[in-house]
Structure 1
Amino acid sequence: MNDRQQIKLTQGIDWPIMGLYLALVMIGLLSIFAAEYREGDNIWQNVMHQSTNYARQVLWLLVSLVLATIIWLTDSKFFTAMANLMYAFGLLLLLLVLAIGTDVKGSHSWLVLGGFRFQPAEFTKLCTNLALAKYLSSLETDFNKLRSRLIAAALALIPCAIIILQDETGLALVYFSFFLVMYREGLPGVLLVVAFSGIILVLSALLVDKNILFIIFSVVTVAVIYFSRREIKRSRSRLVLILGVWAFCSVFVMFIVPFAFTKVLKDYQVRRIEVMLGKENDPKATYNTRQSMIAIGSGGFFGKGYLKGTQTRFDFVPEQSTDFIFCTIGEDFGFFGSLIFMGIFVALLLRIIFIAERQRSTFSRVYAYGVASVIFFHLAINIAMTIGLAPVIGIPLPLVSYGGSSLMTFTMLIFIMLRLDADRQMVLR
């Protein structure tokens, strides 16, 4: 290959994203190795026989890089043309899981073909992102209309509903991150305010006696009516709105939340939420979170040093290669190392947003924001989960946690974005 061909092959690639991607992948490999390696292990033999998670992760990384190369050599118009077909294929895989899926750690969300195990819920995030970008970029879509907003919401919520049926609540919640994309494209901010208010109401109902909450709501409502009496005289609809909000909040905390926690959610889901809120005292139920926080806290400011963490190396921390991989980083490298690690993720997110805003097409912009939203949701929930600020719901850390389905999906998400951006740059030239 001559120099001109090499220049053409790499023309338009966003090198900062490439560098951040490779940095996170290498941090992931080193962290998985640190969590599993024991003195005396034959590393080469483990890699050859694929007998450890770090050995298998190396294989998944090679597969991911092959997929990244194929995507990079593909015309970006292919992804626009195939978006709806890929979405349909993703839904078909999810439905196939319900029929012939395999249970893994209480989750009926895996397909097993020979020795290959695959989680379609991960891959369908990519398909949903493409379909949402396709719909919002259509000339026929007017996102100011309610019908268009409902269709966009359905694109995200249909796979979410199927994944919930697979008992994979954690990954199902990730699909709500697409509402951040819709907000960027014109979804009213009041809906996000209502959503966050609902979360606050749920937490309030779990932490405060419902009768006390009813009194608080009533007192606040009376105060609002008193200070708004002039506006109420001019428009009775304001009084109706205030009383409607009071009635909804009261019914929500006194009846809807208790019903959901006793009749809808499963026992293990309720226990996880209670652990997060400090209301669960059962040592078995709190074990994962306690050990996670102990491991991170024991790292101090500069950490114990690579391969010197005792909590992770002696298996005190559960799922330390997957859901709790951040514990290894926190214990080995401490607060300072964790801060640098978080800085890499923040830099990645900011760069993706920068790429999104420089796109010339709506499809590319929406898709890039979808990538940023999914990564942000995974990052925020996973870190919060390991330090006790969110329930343990099994969400991996992007590009870092062990898992072939996760690594391949995030690789494809990022490299399709790079392909779309590269074609934009070449058009500008």
Structure 2
Amino acid sequence: MNRSQAKLTEGIDWPIFGMYLALVLIGVLAIFAAEYREGDDILQNLLGQNKNWARQVLWFGVSMVLATGIWLTDSKFFTATANLFYAFGILLLLIVLAIGTGVKGSNSWLELGGFRFQPAEFTKLCTNLALAKYLSSLETDFSKMRARLIAAAMVLVPCGIIILQDETGLALVYLCFFLVMFREGLPGILLVIAFSLIILVLSSLLVDKFILLYIFTGIAALVIYFSRREIRRKRSRLALILVIWGFCSAFVLFIVPFVFTKVLKDYQVRRIEVMLGKENDPKATYNTRQSMIAIGSGGMWGKGYLKGTQTRFDFVPEQSTDFIFCTIGEDFGFTGSLLFLGLYVALLFRIIHIAERQRSTFSRVYAYGVASIIFLHLAINISMTIGLAPVIGIPLPLVSYGGSSLMTFTMLIFIMLRLDADRQMVLR
């Protein structure tokens, strides 16, 4: 390597770059396997320009051009323009509301000629930059309620617009930014409350609401009995217990039924019921059942590349996008799937390592944002394919077919690498 090449690649985190390339390659191979059919000529498939895998290779080429441009840009550019990125992202989302194109029930796409783009993907990058800018500002005291509300609003505004586009799945991904806020000082009790509400919702769907009411009353009575001495000294404890009991009861008896009958749409309710095993309609459960069959049929070692029967006979829908993990599970089995997920885990730990070694708050917050986005995408997508989460159309990062997703994750990762590289140059 000559001096100019050394200078060009100086400071790059090679483990991240290597794992990025590995995941993209796995994605292309998996998309090819999802499209391949028994009896097809492999050479013709390789030369086929109308195949999703070929388009993914093209998107990867575009992503590399973007990555190169990012790498050649001074990191101060991203700090200076973070708010402009955010404003541009919000503008794109509003444009989609006005002239968006509908695809599979979602009106979250912009179509220009033959090019189709999903701004909701790109706005994740914009939100991450803006949140990092705000939390790193000297004027921001994140221990104050006002600062926390502003940060929450920065996340919830694009989230709300995306929900109006009927793209609930991607809107949920934006909640990952609250994980970043917890790292920066948001009280942990809020996370406990959030998980408690999720448990309450699931409980109210699985257990009769009046049985739950009896359970809440019994728990409250036991707490009051064992805390009677403290209650005598401090009457406010009794009031707190009764308020919690009242809220849980009202939540189960009124709030959850109202949301499921008046707020959520029928198809969203059916997806949740499928996840909980309460939906018996074969059409509603088809996607999840076929996905689990495909993964389970791979066994310990898999059937071999291009030999998956569930794939070849089109049993699993959307196998190049939402259910791409089925192809990996069927072809390479439990062992291959474990190694594949291990690659993601290694990537996440490496990103966290990079985040913790940053000297600037902006770079640290941004890197944690990248890790949170990848983590939530990974967790939801894998849970979808094995029946632990409703099918909400979340792609597998860098692996699922899709130009908007691949380019967004590429930009997210390479901006982080650029920020980290400049940190190393400052240290020298």
- TM-score over 0.5 for the alignment? yes
CA distance in 2, matches of 1:49, 1:299: 28
Superposed CA RMSD in Å reads 1.0
Partner of 1:406: 405
Asked if the contact 2:294/2:327 (under 8 Å) is kept, the reply is: yes
Asked if the contact 1:135/1:152 (under 8 Å) is kept, the reply is: yes
Give the AA of the match of 1:101: G
Residues 334-362 of structure 1 show CA distances to partners (whole Å, capped at 9, x for unaligned) of 00000000000000000000000000000
TM-score normalised by the chain length of structure 2: 0.99
Partner of 1:281: 280
SS of aligned partner of 2:111: strand
Residues 379-405 of structure 1 show CA distances to partners (whole Å, capped at 9, x for unaligned) of 000000000000000000000000000
TM-superposed deviation, 1:52? 1.1
Give the AA of the match of 2:380: I
Q: How does 1:33-48 map to 2 (within 5 A)?
A: 33-39=32-38, 41=40
CA distance in 1, matches of 2:339, 2:103: 34
Q: How does 1:283-322 map to 2 (within 5 A)?
A: 283-322=282-321
Give the AA of the match of 1:119: Q
Partner of 1:107: 106
Partner of 1:187: 186
Asked if the contact 1:46/1:55 (under 8 Å) is kept, the reply is: no
TM-superposed deviation, 1:38? 2.4
Asked if the contact 2:36/2:45 (under 8 Å) is kept, the reply is: no
Residues 210-250 of structure 1 show CA distances to partners (whole Å, capped at 9, x for unaligned) of 00000000000000011111111111111111110000000
Q: How does 1:23-422 map to 2 (within 5 A)?
A: 23-39=22-38, 41=40, 50-422=49-421
Asked if the contact 1:399/1:406 (under 8 Å) is kept, the reply is: yes
CA distance in 1, matches of 2:96, 2:46: 30
Question: How many aligned positions are there?
Answer: 428
Give the AA of the match of 1:327: C
Runs ≥4 residues deviating over 2 A: 38-50
Gaps spanning 5+ residues in structure 1: where? none
Matching of residue 15 in structure 1 with residue 49 in structure 2: no
Give the AA of the match of 2:85: M
1:302 and 1:48, CA in 2 relative to 1: closer, same or farther beyond 3 A? closer
TM-superposed deviation, 1:50? 2.9
SS of aligned partner of 1:109: strand
Asked if the contact 1:292/1:317 (under 8 Å) is kept, the reply is: yes
SS of aligned partner of 1:279: coil
CA distance in 2, matches of 1:45, 1:172: 39
1:104 and 1:301, CA in 2 relative to 1: closer, same or farther beyond 3 A? same
Residues 251-278 of structure 1 show CA distances to partners (whole Å, capped at 9, x for unaligned) of 0001000000000000000000000000
CA distance in 2, matches of 1:313, 1:255: 47
Residues 310-342 of structure 1 show CA distances to partners (whole Å, capped at 9, x for unaligned) of 001210000000000000000000000000000
TM-superposed deviation, 1:301? 0.2
SS of aligned partner of 1:336: helix
